[in-house]
Structure 1
Amino acid sequence: MAYKEVKTIKCNPELKGMAVMIPEVIYSTAQGVDLKMQILTPWKSDVSSIQTAYPLIVFVQGSAWTHPDVYYQLPQLAQFAREGYVVATLTHRNSLEGHPFPAFLEDVKTGIRFLRKHASQYQIDPDRVGIWGTSSGGNTALLTGLTGDASRYKTKEYGEYSDSVKLVVDCFGPTDLTFALNNLSNLEEGMKKIFEGLRGEDTPENLAKLMEINPANHIKEGQSYPPFFLLHGNADTLVDYSQSELMYHRLSDAGAEVSLVCVEGAPHEGSFWSNELLDLIKEFIADNI
């Protein structure tokens, strides 16, 4: 747009609607792997004397439980930081590099505890923490919400802090992999290797332990759970829509608060995403955190 004369606008001393990225924050080295997160926060104003604490969204990008691409959804996640959330998107150990289940779950929970420990540094309200994941990250988000502070998934790092969450957003995450785990020899070679990596050594004990990767197996009637928001495309050929339907009914039957959104004609990723969908997620988070 061209102006025929000088245009004057007001400055933004409070940096309202702006965000800043804190890159490559190492949250754990205890397992011999540098585990990192990228943190997005509302841009702190130098003129404000008030230390604001913002709700936290922990985001886990899908990776088939290997190595999450933490940059993939940064453009979308930045919207949340501009609107008053701290967002941390983090990596976890790779199942194909000798880190079987529950390594990825332990790592994400460690990341949550790290952020609570450093809440003041990153302007986080430690009492307002939610988790959001896609695909295998959605599976991780569900497991995190269902197993808050469970000792069997808690490492010693930051052990005095909680890894529980106030809400769970799951986008097309697998919820019951029993059939695949019992039929590894029939899987496509790439997925077979991933599940073998998640299992570790081929023993009945390891296979039984790996069944805990199914969020559907963790639901118990009468147990107190955070609210769940499930979103899934009904044209997803990688993780069938029925996986979210199953989770919806299991959670509902157990008395949990749960909602399910079907994205008509959507595949895995790609055209699944829209501003309408992001607005629904924002509304759910705002209502529950």
Structure 2
Amino acid sequence: MAYPAIKKISDNPTLKGLAEIYPDIVFSLAERVGTKMTIISPQIPEDSQEKYPCIIFVQGSGWTFPNMYYQIPQLSQLAAKGYVIATITHRNSLDGYPWPACLQDVKTAIRFMRSKSEEFHIDSDRIGIWGTSSGGNLALLAGLTSDDPKYRTEEYPDFSDRVKLVVDCFGPTDLLKRESRLDNPSPADIALAGGNPRENMDVIMDMSPIYKVKEGVTYPPFLLVQGNNDEVVPYEQSLNMFHKLCDTGADANMIEVNNGPHEGTFWSQELLDMIFEFIMDRL
């Protein structure tokens, strides 16, 4: 009997294209139970000395408690391309942690990853941040306030929270112009502002990335991504931020998703590939 030909391929000694997950790693003790992240990493041979770029990912949550697992299937694609991904939580405003606790946690996560650069094979000079919705807001603020002592905790004091690039998907940029949220705040809005937002406008301004952009400051590259059918965060929030960054000489880029809502059908493989291309080009 004639058998079909047996296909032969080589093995994969570098483990290229494979990824693995390290779940529920505590990176901060600012909250009693510990604040966690999940790391998605390329599979790395035991004898490898290679270092990989890193992305901190912050899922949107209305500044409450991010679901760090939500985008793991998509983020794993980037990990398989050779990036260490840390998808993180942060303290929840509804649990008694007003602003700027969530931004402090994001910055602590960046410093934590630098402190673990040997363990996770991270190139500490190539760390970027990507966030969606409120996570996008925090990503923008992280990129605009590098090593600002106002937002530092005492954890990992010997490490920087500087990032080399920022990706923001539909993040609010000017909370002073979200009149409906100011006039009809949710419990989370009140908790975050430490009271009625209208009576705490200094907090609202501090949360607004557009007011952090300054002339003469060197910022990392930014990619803003926004759907033009977003009923939660108006398209103009990203457009105005894009213009402000460009006007001050920053390296800013923007992608508009036609008919894109807030999450859901906003996402496509085409969009992910464009975001990955930006990250791979700049990091």
Would the aligned equivalents of 1:172 and 1:239 in 2 still touch at CA under 8 Å? yes
Q: How many residues align?
A: 281
After TM superposition, the score normalised by the length of structure 2 is 0.94
Would the aligned equivalents of 2:197 and 2:204 in 1 still touch at CA under 8 Å? no
Superposed, which structure 2 residues align to 1:1-289 within 5 Å? Answer: 4=4, 7-46=7-46, 49-180=47-178, 184=182, 186-187=183-184, 191-202=185-196, 206-289=200-283
**RMSD value, Cα:** 1.8
Residues 168-215 of structure 1, C-alpha deviation per residue, up to 9 Å, x if partnerless? 00000000010337963x32xxx5212101111459874313320000
SS of 1:76 mapped into structure 2: helix
Q: 5+ unaligned residues in a row in structure 2: which ranges?
A: none
After TM superposition, the score normalised by the length of structure 1 is 0.92
Identity level (%): 52
Would the aligned equivalents of 2:28 and 2:36 in 1 still touch at CA under 8 Å? yes
**Cα separation, 2, equivalents of 1:7 and 1:174:** 53
SS of 1:126 mapped into structure 2: strand
Runs of 4+ in 1 over 6 A off after TM superposition: none
Residues 229-250 of structure 1, C-alpha deviation per residue, up to 9 Å, x if partnerless? 0000000111111100010111
Residues 25-74 of structure 1, C-alpha deviation per residue, up to 9 Å, x if partnerless? 1001133241000001110124xx33111000000000110110111100
C-alpha deviation, 1:279, in angstroms: 1.3
Would the aligned equivalents of 2:55 and 2:127 in 1 still touch at CA under 8 Å? yes
Change (3 A) 1:203 1:237: closer
Would the aligned equivalents of 1:101 and 1:210 in 2 still touch at CA under 8 Å? no
